[in-house]
Amino acid sequence: DGGITQSPKYLFRKEGQNVTLSCEQNLNHDAMYWYRQDPGQGLRLIYYSQIVNDFQKGDIAEGYSVSREKKESFPLTVTSAQKNPTAFYLCASSGRGPHNEQFFGPGTRLTVL
Amino acid sequence: GENVEQHPSTLSVQEGDSAVIKCTYSDSASNYFPWYKQELGKRPQLIIDIRSNVGEKKDQRIAVTLNKTAKHFSLHITETQPEDSAVYFCAASSGLNYGGSQGNLIFGKGTKLSVKP
């Protein structure tokens, strides 16, 4: 189902805790992305990585961190500095080049208690 | 940077009618315009895309038109069916300078389409 997976599907966090969302792809894609989806807000880019060991901030990077140590993996950490972390998080990947389709994972719904 | 506006935010049609969703973009350098469909609780999936060297593209009941001069593009769904009910997102990117941010997709806020049987 697309070759890109995210875990867990649902995640609950207490205020003040850091949590890490997993994203793995077996599509041999160079580029990977993290989006945040809120009702009525569309998809907003948090971080992206176009190649291993390199990543860049997106439009709403504050309070988030990422790593890209392997081509297949692009984990996202939601830190305690993120003021409103409750949201649906989507990971995506695409091949190298400017007009390649982005394939999305199934998403992780994070709720802060 | 690029800004994408999408209208309407909600759209309700009767089964068999046509549905049209419109998007405008601000960056004249944008040259790639995909449309994604997201069913309830599912991941977004690409349904059609268009590049700036063409004005229209069609795939069965779905078509996309692009007006570069006016900087707007539209999704047309004909003979709508209940399974077309979903949230639709338009997006735009310039594809320039792949090593930078210009190639990233900028998404509209989405249109929730409801097709009533």
| Closest residue of chain B to A97, computed from CA coordinates | B98
pLDDT score for B98: 46
Among A42, A104, A105, the residue with its CB nearest the CB of B109 is: A42
Residue type (1 letter), A70: K
- The per-residue pLDDT for range B46-90, each reduced to its tens digit, is 999 998 888 999 999 999 999 999 999 999 999 999 999 999 999
Q: Which residue has the higher pLDDT, A36 or A15?
A: A36
User: Are β-strands B62-67 and B56-59 bridged in parallel, bridged antiparallel, or unpaired?
Assistant: antiparallel
Beta bridge partners of A65: A77
| Whether A31 contacts A92, CB under 8 Å | no
Nearest CA in chain B to A46: B104
CA A98 to chain centre: 20
- What is chain A's mean pLDDT, rounded? 92
Would you state the pLDDT for residue B108? Answer: 95
CB contact under 8 A, B32 and A98: yes
Rounded CA gap, B63 and A59, in Å? Answer: 30
Q: Does A88 touch chain B (CB under 8 A)?
A: no
Q: What is the CB neighbour count within 10 angstroms for residue B41?
A: 9
Cα–Cα–Cα angle for B109, B114, B117, rounded to 5 degrees: 170
Q: Is A97 on the interface with B (CB under 8 A)?
A: yes
Sign of CA dihedral A42, A106, A30, B31: negative
pLDDT at A10 over 60: yes
pLDDT tier at A96, thresholds 50, 70, 90: confident
Q: Does B117 touch chain A (CB under 8 A)?
A: no
Mutate to test the interface with A, among B4, B42, B43 (most CBs of A within 10 A): B43
User: Terminal CA-to-CA distance of chain B, rounded, Å?
Assistant: 41
Per DSSP, the residues of chain B read ---EEEE-SEEEEETTS-EEEEEEES-TT--EEEEEEE-TTS--EEEEEEETT-SEEEETTEEEEEETTTTEEEEEE-S--GGG-EEEEEEEB---STTSSTTS-EE---EEEEEE-
Q: Which of A90, A96, A101 sits opposite B43 (nearest CB)?
A: A90
Q: What is the pLDDT of residues A35-86, one digit of tens each?
A: 999 988 889 999 999 899 999 999 999 999 999 999 999 999 999 888 899 9
Q: What is the mean pLDDT of residues B98-106?
A: 65
Q: How confident is the model at residue B96 (pLDDT cuts 50, 70, 90)?
A: low
Distance from the Cα of A27 to chain B's closest Cα (Å) equals 16
pLDDT, mean of residues B29-56 = 92
In this structure, what is the dihedral angle of CA atoms B112, A100, A92, B102, given to the nearest 10 degrees?
-90
Residues ≥6 apart with Cβ < 8 Å to A84:
none
